[in-house]
Structure 1
Amino acid sequence: LRVCADPSNMPFTDKSGEGFENKLAELVAAKTGRKSVSYTWFPTITGFVRNTLGANRCDIIMGYAQGDELVQNTNAYYRSAYVLVHPKSKDMEGVETIEDSRLTGKTIGVVESTPPTANMAANKLLRTAKIYPLAVDTRVTPSMGEV
């Protein structure tokens, strides 16, 4: 099974094969009678589909965003929630939602173009936010997990 994936996108995929989508690729290969899995590694940046599946370098892309018109998706098999994590301190005690006014003026890290940014914008929290890139070309810049 020829798989196109990001080489540094944990917990999803990585070159060491430790990502859960690496494990899913092995399962798909076994269930479809393939003897092995081979990878074409490319960062999930603009041009990912064009340079991988579109260039006939793979049979499947694991974990592509549902609803994108560039690929034919399966049914969603993964759903995620977002959480607010903060250090334990008196001024943050009891903060449980992004709507809490005690977050005003705080630096909150968030990945660009993800659902929490809409909630943060509605609560005027983006002015002081630390924005992390959604897509990183890991050929040039390490992923946030490697920093």
Structure 2
Amino acid sequence: MAKEQGTKMIAQNKKARHDYAIEDTYEAGLVLMGTEVKSLREGRASLVDGFIDIDRGEAWLHGVHIPEYLQGTWTNHSARRKRKLLLHKAEIDKIERRVAEKGLTVVPLALYFVNGRAKIEIATARGKKSWDKRQAIAERTAKRETEIAVGRRLKGHAD
């Protein structure tokens, strides 16, 4: 079988980008069981309830739902088990310091394959208040309306 090339997106956490102000992002590997990899290759995962915890110098991914592999047997995995993240020691220390001193949290943003290996994009993030969310939506709407107006004007349509 030929080796996989390129990137294949499995799941994205769009809610995290809405609920948090992203500060730094990191790419981490995952320690997975065989049935988890097979389930991910089918494109089945959910990052919505996921979070990252640093415990004794190791990063752990909690709450991510990777459903059981349908053709799996007694070797199948638990759907919401905690999974170890593969990061450099310096990255783990940096994340741990930032979370402790600035009151940030670490959330998963995307789960994907890169050249056949499962990777997860994680971010240190600060929670948004409800008025921040409304302000971001208003800015996005205003930007979209100006782009539409400029497009109409370039096409020669009256306002």
TM-score of Structure 1 vs Structure 2, range by shorter chain? under 0.3
Bigger radius of gyration: 2
Which protein is richer in strand relative to its size? 2
Which protein is richer in helix relative to its size? 2
- Taking structure 1 as the reference length, the TM-score comes to 0.22
Q: Choose between structure 1 and 2 for higher RCO, CA contacts under 8 A separated by at least 6 residues.
A: 2
